[in-house]
């Protein structure tokens, strides 16, 4: 049971952390909330981490049911989700590196607007976007597609997934709260290197998800041809 829970934890955390990419989003978060006081920034870090947990958990619970309702197959989800993640990774990998001095008046958040900005745009799409939502759904859909799972496997897997989401949310909170200190520690060049590294990991995860969709369609096609 412990091994199952650990495997579930690793699968959820390892798949979602590079896509959520709090280390890469930290400088962007810091830039967007630079007009807020330190107390409000800390509250926003808490709100974003909680919102991210709820949004990803809701995606895992409701997402597979929506797939069934709309008749969307798991391979189709993997292809679409993989394409989204590939596009995000490629964009992040090639975008101009932030210097930490840019100001964008259209996205500037102040103490007065902090409460209304906690979910949009700080939680979605900055922290949890289409790629992470699609990945969360595909993780659950892939597990659910394995029929006949005994209860002693299902329960540890659920616990491991929840702990993975909690660990991810804590990571978002800590990194966003300490984004200023982290940026000073790594420096501008170190931050750029981290962002490029996680962008490349994100790109490879997207390719892996997309190839999983192709493999799923190939298996379905071979079964269909064998039945003829």
Per-residue confidence band for 104, with pLDDT thresholds at 50, 70 and 90: very low
pLDDT in tens, 163-215: 999 999 999 999 999 988 988 888 878 877 877 887 787 788 778 878 888 98
Reduced to 3 states, what is the DSSP secondary structure of residue 179? helix
- Ranges 98-102, 179-183, 185-189, 219-223: which has the least confidence: 98-102
173-197 b/e with 16+ CB inside 10 Å = b?
A: bebbbbbbebbeebeeeebbebbee
Q: Which residues contact 106 (CB under 8 A, 6 or more apart)?
A: none
**Cβ(20)–Cβ(132) below 8 Å:** yes
- Report d(CA 137, CA 52) in Å as an integer: 14
What's the CA angle centered on 122, arms 116 and 125, to 5 degrees?
Answer: 115
Alpha helices, DSSP H, located in 21-150? 22-32, 38-70, 74-94, 114-117, 130-144
- Looking at residue 143, its pLDDT comes to 78
Span 77-97, average pLDDT = 78
Predicted TM-score (pTM) of this structure? 0.77
- The residue ranking higher by pLDDT, 163 or 222, is 163
Q: Is the pLDDT of residue 142 over 90?
A: no
- Ranges 2-11, 23-32, 146-155: which has the least confidence: 146-155
Other residues' Cβ atoms within 10 Å of the Cβ of residue 76: 15
Q: In the beta sheet, which residues pair with residue 110?
A: 35
Per-residue confidence band for 96, with pLDDT thresholds at 50, 70 and 90: low
Phi/psi of residue 35, each to 5°?
-85, 5
């Amino acid at each position: 049971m412990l091994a199952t829970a650990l495997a579930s934890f690793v699968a959820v955390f390892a798949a979602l952390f590079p896509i959520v990419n709090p280390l890469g989003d930290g400088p962007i978060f810091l830039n967007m909330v630079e007009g807020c006081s330190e107390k409000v920034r800390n509250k926003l870090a808490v709100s974003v981490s909680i919102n991210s947990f709820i949004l990803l958990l809701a995606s895992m619970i409701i997402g597979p049911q929506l797939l069934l309702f709309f008749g969307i197959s798991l391979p189709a989800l993997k292809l679409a989700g993989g394409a989204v993640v590939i596009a995000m990774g490629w964009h992040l990998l090639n975008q101009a590196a932030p210097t930490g001095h840019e100001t964008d008046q259209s996205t500037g958040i102040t103490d007065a607007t902090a409460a209304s900005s906690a979910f949009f745009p700080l939680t979605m799409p900055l922290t949890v976007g289409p790629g992470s939502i699609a990945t969360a759904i595909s993780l659950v859909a892939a597990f659910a597609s394995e029929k006949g799972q005994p209860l002693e496997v299902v329960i540890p897997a659920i616990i491991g997934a929840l702990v993975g989401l909690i660990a991810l949310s804590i990571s978002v909170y800590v990194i966003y709260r300490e984004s200023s200190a982290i940026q000073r520690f790594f420096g501008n060049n170190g931050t750029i290197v981290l962002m490029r590294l996680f962008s490349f990991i994100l790109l490879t995860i997207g390719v892996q998800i997309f190839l999983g969709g192709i493999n799923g369609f190939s298996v379905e096609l071979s079964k269909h041809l064998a039945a003829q």
